[in-house]
Amino acid sequence: MLIRDIMKYIESEYDIINSTPCEVCGGSYIAESLEIHVIDNIPYDISMCVCGECGHEKAFRFFAPFINDEALVTTKKKLN
């Protein structure tokens, strides 16, 4: 996968994180780290986030960017 596509993918993850309110106080999450984990042979992108208002931590899990655009669209639909 091209770097450009990976950047696009990560941007879309941040869009999801930014549009998700904190489940405790309704504040905005800030991404702290991004890691790839392999679960059942499927690479996942796990982003640890912390609420900027109350400090509540939440892990966001996404499919890793090895997949094609069609799969990415399907993933996004599931998330929405």
Enumerate binding residues for Zn ion (CB under 5 A).
Answer: 22, 24-25, 27, 51, 53-54, 56
5 vs 21, beta carbon nearer Zn ion: 21
Distance CA 66, CA 64 (A): 6
53 vs 72, beta carbon nearer Zn ion: 53
6 vs 54, beta carbon nearer Zn ion: 54
* Least distance (Å) between residue 21 CB and Zn ion: 8
* Least distance (Å) between residue 75 CB and Zn ion: 26
Distance CA 58, CA 53 (A): 13
* Least distance (Å) between residue 73 CB and Zn ion: 30
CA angle 54, 58, 63 (to 5 degrees): 150
